[in-house]
Amino acid sequence: MIPGGRGRSTSPLALLVVKAAVLASLAYLSCAFGGTGGADDGTRGAIEVTVRYDFSRGTYAEGALAEIVVVRAGKTVFSKRTARAPTEGQLAPSRYRLNAALRPCDGNCDRGLDPPVDDCSLAVVIPTDGVLRVRALMSPGRRCRLAVSEKAPAGRVLGRSPD
């Protein structure tokens, strides 16, 4: 079973803790990679990825976590594994590649994860002073799907990998 699976709700405090950890990680990565995000004038945009699961064709026996990776110029600028919570963070306005995949649990999710499967990717532009909202649909045994939310106030889709 995927942690936080159907029928379980995530408390607002848990979501706040996850968001704070993601933002702290992004601040560290921004310094570690020397601001590889794009513009150097201090402007920031944001990305928010909401993960949903389709279990209509089954699940992985020991469960799985979704892995969200944001890449720019061949370098990973953000990486997060999550069961259900929205993944968000600030990035400099620029072009990025958003990659998503399922990581099946090896025995259980605390012991380790198998290599990524059921992957997909999407080229995106992070807007200046806006939020690019993306929905990820993870379906065990099938390629995932990424789509920019119709509620995204700014940003645009550059291209999509084949489904």
Spatial separation of the C-alpha atoms in residues 81 and 25, rounded to whole Å: 12
Domains in the chain (CATH in brackets) are: 12-160 (2.60.40.10)
Pair 59, 2: CB distance under 8 Å: yes
Mean pLDDT of 70-78: 94
Query: Residue 119 has what pLDDT?
Result: 96
| Rounded distance between C-alpha atoms, residue 24 and residue 135, angstroms | 22
The DSSP 8-state label assigned to residue 100 in this structure reads: E
Question: What is the percentage of the chain residues whose pLDDT exceeds 70?
Answer: 66
How high does pLDDT run on average in the chain?
A: 74
Tokens encoding 108: 């259980």
Q: Is residue 117's pLDDT more than 90?
A: yes
Per-residue confidence (pLDDT) for residue 150, from 0 to 100: 45
Section 123-129 average pLDDT: 89
Which pLDDT does position 41 carry in this prediction?
Answer: 63
* 124 vs 31, residue with greater confidence: 124
Report the C-alpha gap between 148 and 157 in whole angstroms. Answer: 7
pLDDT-based confidence at residue 157 (cuts at 50, 70, 90): very low
What tokens does 101 get? 């995949």
Cα 50 to the chain's mean position, in Å? Answer: 7
Closest CA to 62 of 18, 114, 139: 114
> Could you tell me which residue, 65 or 83, shows the higher pLDDT?
65
Rounded mean pLDDT, 97-123: 93
The rounded distance, in Å, linking the Cα atoms of 8 and 85 is 12
More confident residue, 48 or 85: 48
